[in-house]
Structure 1
Amino acid sequence: MKKRLAVFVSGGGTDFQSIIDGVRNGEINAEIAVCVASKDGIYAIERAKQNGIRYEVYKKSDYGSAEEMFEKISGLLDKLKVDLIVLAGYLTILPSAFVRRFKGKIINIHPSLIPKYCGEGFYGMKVHEAVIKGGETESGATVHFVDEGVDTGEIIARAKVPVMPGDTPETLAKRVLEAEHKLLPRVLKMLCDKNN
């Protein structure tokens, strides 16, 4: 039985593309049931369209509260019989009720070696700026289960990359992203094979 994935996105969707490629080439024994986007006009939606993947946009501004929005999303995921939720560059904090409802079924990829440079306020380029400012010699990416804290869930796997002399946040981000594109499909392969 193929696992059914929901991929949550907020931007260009390069991690999403690595999942699409992994599913298409048979590395990941799964199908992408839906792409959940946090806003219109992001390139991740184009990737969904190009690959015939259903996508739905849920914007916080359209709902009275995050809880209300995620109640709607929960209904969709239940209807689509989703087995695993992948946060692939999704910048909205999940409400506790949603996390509890899908406990053990939500994973996130974070662009640092957790427990360093994670938690509230550490996302995107801010992470890489902090790593360079901190004088680190290595950074990387971490895939972890999501719990009710921010970036505090059980770590599944990490990939390390060097921080080079003269790195800018942009050059480091590119190197970390390349590591993410290998790490995320590898973790998904493991999770989808494990429970079959």
Structure 2
Amino acid sequence: MKRIVIFASGSGTNAENLIKFFHNSDNASVIQVLSNNPHAKVLERAKNLKVSALSFNRIAFSKTDDVLHILKASKPDLIVLAGFLWKFPEHILNAFPNKVINVHPALLPKYGGKGMYGMHVHEAVVANNETETGITIHYVNEHYDEGAIIFQARCEVNSDDSAENVAEKIHKLEMEHFPLVVNKLLNSK
């Protein structure tokens, strides 16, 4: 059975979708959710779905090996960032090469980089009169949103779309494609 660990910072709808997708799977399961926000709704969602949920601070994540030790004990086949807002530290990436992926709410390389997350991305897409946007699932490296692209899905942006409309379209793409891509990756490992 393949093991998935999810990192998230916020409400956790993508994490919940992944947990439910793999709940009855013979192939994989989400074994743990980790968050840098002790008040994140994702922790509650995970606990309600009977998945281990822990929070950590910046020191445990970046300055010590505390989070790395948790991950090594969990032995994940894949680490999935689902709305996780901190840059992933190199010492963890080095310990899990090609095992950390992220979903980004735009068609990278557009609208990526530090500070480009959530509504910031959608507002920029609308402000620049883009006619399409989408999601990018990519490997995580030492730079924000620069890892190798695994998958992209596109949607139209209409001239009268607000950032909120765009956010809804992106959310639908994430819900539809993210679990399928994670499953495909696990099957190829």
- The two structures have a TM-score, normalised by structure 1, of 0.92
Match of 2:105 in 1: 111
Question: Which amino acid in the other structure matches residue 46 of structure 1?
Answer: E
**Pair 1:84-2:82 in alignment:** no
In structure 1, C-alpha distance between the alignment counterparts of 2:156 and 2:57, rounded to whole Å: 36
- Aligned counterparts of 1:65 and 1:56: Cα–Cα separation in 2: 12
- Which structure has more relative contact order (CA 8 Å, sep 6+)? It is 1
> Given the two structures, how large is their TM-score scaled by the length of structure 2?
0.95
Q: Are the equivalent residues in 2 in contact too, given 1:18–1:182 (CA < 8 A)?
A: no
Q: Is 2:144 the partner of 1:144?
A: no
- Which residue number in structure 2 is paired with residue 155 of structure 1? 149
Cα root mean square deviation, aligned: 1.5
Distance 1:29 1:5 in 2: 11
Structure 1 residue runs of 4+, over 4 Å off? none
* TM superposition shift of 1:25: 4.5
1:1-196 aligned within 5 A? 2-26=1-25, 29-60=27-58, 63=59, 66-68=62-64, 71-195=65-189
- Confirm or deny: 8 A CA contact 1:158 1:183 kept in the other structure: no
Counterparts of 2:80 and 2:31 in 1: how far apart (Å)?
Answer: 11
Aligned-residue offset at 1:66: 2.1
What SS does the aligned partner of 2:86 have?
coil
- Structure 1 distance, partners of 2:60, 2:82, is 25
Q: Which moved more, 1:119-128 or 1:16-25?
A: 16-25
Unaligned runs of 5+ in 2: none
Q: Which segment is superposed worse, 17-26 or 44-53?
A: 17-26
Length, aligned pairs only? 189
Q: Is the 8 A contact 2:61 2:89 kept in 1?
A: no
Q: Distance in 2 between matches of 1:23 and 1:132?
A: 34
